[in-house]
Amino acid sequence: MSEWGKARGQVKKEYNSMEKLIEGYNYKDPKHTDKTDEKLRKIVADEINKSRDFLFPMIEAAYREQDMKSAGPLDEVMQWLDIFLLELGLKMSWSEVGDYKDYMRLIKFDSALVQNAVKLAGFIEDMQDSVLRGKGGATVPKKCDQLKKYILDLMALFKKRRHSLGG
């Protein structure tokens, strides 16, 4: 059995979830690696863009209401989302992955990135719902601090993925 096959068997749950999201999910050779990485970065970027879409109406409302206590932190969250999008747009240069442990780590990183990006968009959507309905506006700065930390953690995960795999 190949190293890629061993890894898939060890982290079957994560692999199956990634395979459902990405047609041809595979890192067994450079051609597949480049395509899979590109597709993964696009999925994560799409979720970050959803987060931006949910955030923007809150920023507009804060400025319209001259609520600078909320506008500043919301703007900062938007800036961190934009920075992450820029990082996601950078193509990775891969060293050869050949050890099944490296493949396992990669599958786990991919799964965690997607799950956390989806959660982030959900958190911001929930926040948007409550803020735009006039509830929870006072908690925006605190929630923005939590969102910023979540984004930074997501960026750190992405960087760990890149560094651990030679990119």
Q: What is the pLDDT of residues 14-61, one digit of tens each?
A: 999 999 999 999 988 888 888 999 999 999 999 999 999 999 999 999
- Residue 86 lies in domain: 3-164
Distance from C-alpha of 100 to C-alpha of 147, rounded to nearest angstrom: 34
Which residues, other chains included, contact 120 with Cβ-Cβ below 8 Å and sequence gap of 6+? 47, 48, 51, 147, 150, 151, 154
Lowest-pLDDT range of 10-14, 30-34, 60-64, 72-76: 30-34
Other C-beta atoms closer than 10 Å to the C-beta of 134 total 8
Task: State the pLDDT at residue 27.
Answer: 87
Residues 58, 64, 66, CA angle at the centre, nearest 5°?
Answer: 100
pTM: 0.93
Q: What confidence category does residue 96 fall into, taking pLDDT thresholds of 50, 70 and 90? A: low
Nearest to 104 by CA among 154, 37, 161: 161
CB contact set of 49 (below 8 Å; sequence gap of 6+): 85
163 vs 116, higher pLDDT = 116
Give yes or no for residue 167 having a pLDDT over 60: no
Per the prediction, the chain carries an average pLDDT of: 91
Instruction: Report how far residue 140's alpha carbon sits from residue 121's, in angstroms, rounded to the nearest whole number.
Output: 16
pLDDT band at 78, cuts 50/70/90? very high
Q: How many domains is the chain partitioned into structurally? A: 1
Phi, psi of 94 (to 5 degrees): -95, 135
Q: Residue 146 in 3-state DSSP? A: helix
Alpha-carbon distance of 162 to 95, in angstroms, equals: 10
